Amino acid sequence: MSVQETPTAPAVPAAPPARSGRAAAIGWIVTIVFNLVLPIVTYNVLTGRGWTEFSALLLSGVWPVAESLVSLAWRRHIDEFAVVTLVFLAITALVTLVGTHSARALLIKDSGVTGLFGALCIATLLAPRPLMFYFGRKFGTDGTPEGVAYFNGLWQFPDFRKAMRRMTAVWGIAYLVEAVLRLVLAYALSTGTMVVLSPVLIYAFLVSLIFWTIRYSKRSQAEGQAKAAARAAAAAEAAAGAGTGPVTA
């Protein structure tokens, strides 16, 4: 007796517990304080006390470094996202020490760093997994082994891989545009204006990209679930048809 086999879709990994919204909100507040509020306040206080614009701008950049180091010390482990963050902190420190030491030059170099981030996003499209996969795993899970395993398991689905690569491409292009825009404004506006405007531009692009990413992720997830339901219905219909068909010895 022969029985027709029907193809089965990859098993969906068990979903981990939902990430705490309160914990995520606290994380974003800390990030904004260390990367936006404290650098601006530090710059204004130091320049008001006679520091040069370059020295004040350089010292205000210590806050993002401190936030990253505290985060690493708190979690007591290094993941891919932390490695990327530290690499760009090292690049920022390096380009700060090279070339002309002026506040405007430092702002221009900052544009180069974000431009490098955009280029890195595009470059990782050629890697086995694009950069946004690691960002998604960082911010889309609770960091537990179960949450990480769940997210890793999603890579088996073609639609998920396509979504990760598309998001990486969009982030890369957006940050290349942001870098060019800040470079132009660094020459067109005063240093004091750019000290305030530069982080605003960074976070305006970041918030816009996050908003788009969330909407795109939800739409992709809904489309994936619809496709999975359609495949399951087709498989059930095929199985039912095979069960009522003629049986051959």
pLDDT tens-digit series, residues 37-58: 887 788 778 878 888 766 776 7
* 131, part of any domain: yes
Question: Is residue 243 one of the residues assigned to a domain?
Answer: no
pLDDT, position 25: 64
Could you tell me which residue, 211 or 230, shows the higher pLDDT? 211
Residue 172 confidence (pLDDT): 94
In a domain, 242, yes or no: no
CA-CA distance, 12 to 227, in Å (whole number)? 13
Looking at the domain assignment, is residue 88 inside a domain?
yes
Q: Residue 14 domain-assigned?
A: no
Domain that holds residue 132: 21-229
Count structural domains, the chain.
Answer: 1
Structure confidence at residue 169 (pLDDT): 96
Q: CA separation (Å) from 179 to 65, 109, 170, 225?
A: 20, 10, 14, 37
Cα–Cα separations (whole angstroms), residue 167 to 130, 185, 195:
9, 27, 29
pLDDT tens across 102-125, in order? Answer: 666 667 767 777 888 899 899 999
| 239 domain-assigned | no
Q: Is residue 237 situated within a structural domain?
A: no
Tell the residue number behind the tokens 């690691």, with chain if given: 134
Alpha carbons within 13 A on the beta-carbon side of 42: 18
The least confident of 24-38, 130-144, 228-242 is 24-38
Provide the whole-model pTM.
Answer: 0.62
Domain assignment present for residue 16? The answer is no
